[in-house]
Amino acid sequence: MKKTAFLFPGQGSQSVGMGEEFYREYDVVREIFDMTEEISRVNISKLCFKGPMEDLTMTVNLQPAVTAVNLACLAAIAKENVEFHYCAGHSLGEYSALSAAGVHSKEDAGRLVFKRGELMHREATRNPGAMHAIVGLPMDAVAELVSEVQKDGIVSVANHNTELQIVITGAPRSVEKVSSLAVEKGAKSVPLKVSGAWHSELIKGAEEEFKAFLDITSFSAPQKSILFNVTADPSEDPGEIKEIMGRQLCSPVRWYDTINKLMDENVEVFVEVGPGRVLAGLLKKILPGDYPAKVYNVANMKQLEKFLKES
């Protein structure tokens, strides 16, 4: 059987209507939505299926909503007994990957992301921030600009998404400054529609409280190999995994390194399990033209059927 990796998207992959087909089709999916609504006290199914997008995008709603849809897509695939060998999730998506790997239950995934969303929203309200995608410069060049501007204000790398797509995060003025320096060097800068400076020091106030919440959550050793955002490496130890997830909130997402690791493992099938095509888009930029891999999205019945037929 071909080596397969399941990849779970995070914030930025949402759209109105996500998850609705699977919700109509599968009892297990309806159970996931009911469970998420009970935990969050938010009408997640209505938000996912009808919007409005503005409410869906608020981080307190979005984190449980995207996680519910990721887990719904995973449940639809699991119905067909499809095997996978590796998994990873982009930022918020990492909690869906932990669930897929058997580290924690679906319920705990829901509880963790709801708490995470609440804390991140609180810190973003206290410390407004910005995020920009810098396109066209390698990591070391962006890191150099960031450390230059860091002397005067809070700014850091949030995501290393592809070789030449790096997201920066921090105080609006500092983020603008790094952006303009990057543009001078020939890069493109794209402001992101986000409600906070994720993966930055500006949300550091959430870290201790979130770590305490992780501590009271039951983690098991993974049954599948899961690669982590913070390290771009796997870990088998539940205690170490909790520690990594505690750091994840304010650390860069090493997505480019993660995909390169999966290529080193000769993964041939990549499946984006969840809404949107963000991760599939990044894969197209990362995978070399001659690398023998198939990339699938599974977010609706048609995509699921295509994946099952071809895999």
Same-domain check for residues 185 and 213: no
Residue 101 lies in a domain: yes
Largest Cα–Cα distance in the chain? 55
Same-domain check for residues 98 and 177: no
Same-domain check for residues 207 and 286: yes
Same-domain check for residues 178 and 235: no
The set of catalytic residues is 91, 199
Residue 196 lies in a domain: no
What integer pLDDT is reported at residue 23 of this predicted model? 98
Domain end, chosen from 168, 191, 214, is at 191
Which residue range is the domain that position 206 belongs to? 4-125+201-310
Could you tell me the CATH number of the domain that includes residue 148?
3.30.70.250
Same-domain check for residues 28 and 118: yes
According to the 3-state scheme, what is the secondary structure of the chain?
CCCEEEEECCCCCCCCCCCHHHHHHCHHHHHHHHHHHHHHCCCHHHHHHHCCHHHHCCHHHHHHHHHHHHHHHHHHHHCCCCCCCEEEECHHHHHHHHHHCCCCCHHHHHHHHHHHHHHHHHHHHHCCCEEEEEECCCHHHHHHHHHHHHCCCCEEEEEEEECCEEEEEECHHHHHHHHHHHHHCCCEEEECCCCCCCCCHHHHHHHHHHHHHHHCCCCCCCCCEEECCCCCCECCCHHHHHHHHHHHCCCCECHHHHHHHHHHCCCCEEEEECCCCHHHHHHHHHCCCCCCCEEEEECCHHHHHHHHHHC
Domain end, chosen from 150, 168, 191, is at 191
**pLDDT tens digit at each of 311 positions of the chain:** 899 999 999 999 999 999 999 999 999 999 999 999 999 999 999 999 999 999 999 999 999 999 999 999 999 999 999 999 999 999 999 999 999 999 999 999 999 999 999 999 999 999 999 999 999 999 999 999 999 999 999 999 999 999 999 999 999 999 999 999 999 999 999 999 898 999 999 999 999 999 999 999 999 999 999 999 999 999 999 999 999 999 999 999 999 999 999 999 999 999 999 999 999 999 999 999 999 999 999 999 999 999 999 98
The string of pLDDT tens digits covering residues 99-152 is: 999 999 999 999 999 999 999 999 999 999 999 999 999 999 999 999 999 999
Other beta carbons less than 10 A from residue 285's beta carbon: 14
Same-domain check for residues 86 and 175: no
As for how many domains the chain has, the answer is 2
Same-domain check for residues 98 and 44: yes
Same-domain check for residues 84 and 177: no
Residue 210 lies in a domain: yes
What integer pLDDT is reported at residue 150 of this predicted model? 97
What integer pLDDT is reported at residue 250 of this predicted model? 97
What integer pLDDT is reported at residue 238 of this predicted model? 98
Same-domain check for residues 118 and 139: no
What integer pLDDT is reported at residue 311 of this predicted model? 83
Same-domain check for residues 133 and 118: no
Same-domain check for residues 112 and 207: yes
Same-domain check for residues 169 and 287: no
